[in-house]
Amino acid sequence: MKNKNRRLLTYQDRQIIYSMHEQSFGVREIGRYLNRCASVVSRELKRNRPPPRVHVRMIERAEWADN
C-alpha cells in the first residue's frame, strides 16, 4: 500500500471550516476553498460535534477540536 502524503488540519483550517459552515456554506464549497476533499470537511464537522445539549459557538469548536 502506498503511503499518501496527508496533511493534518490546522487550527486555521478548523476555524475556516466552522466559520464557513456557520455561514451556510456546503462541505463541498468549504473543501474547494481549502483544497481538501469534501469528506475531510464532513468528517471534521461530524467528529467534533459537541455533546448533546451543549451549545458551543462554531468558532469555539475549532479551539475545542484542536486540543
pLDDT per residue over 6-64, tens digit each?
688 998 999 999 889 989 999 999 999 999 999 999 999 998 876 666 666 665 666 76
Asked if residue 42 is part of any domain, the answer here is: yes
Asked if residue 4 is part of any domain, the answer here is: no
Asked if residue 2 is part of any domain, the answer here is: no
Containing structural domain, residue 47: 11-66
Asked if residue 25 is part of any domain, the answer here is: yes
- Asked if 58 contacts 22 with a C-beta cutoff of 8 angstroms, the reply is yes
pLDDT of residue 56: 64
Residue type, 10: T
Asked if residue 3 is part of any domain, the answer here is: no
Asked if residue 46 is part of any domain, the answer here is: yes
Asked if residue 55 is part of any domain, the answer here is: yes
Q: List all residues 6 or more positions away from 37 whose beta carbon is below 8 Å from its beta carbon.
A: 31
Query: How far apart (Å, rounded) are the C-alpha atoms in residues 34 and 51?
Result: 27
Asked if residue 5 is part of any domain, the answer here is: no
Please give the C-alpha separations between residue 34 and each of 23, 59, 64, in angstroms, as whole numbers: 16, 17, 20
- Residue 4 pLDDT exceeds 60: no
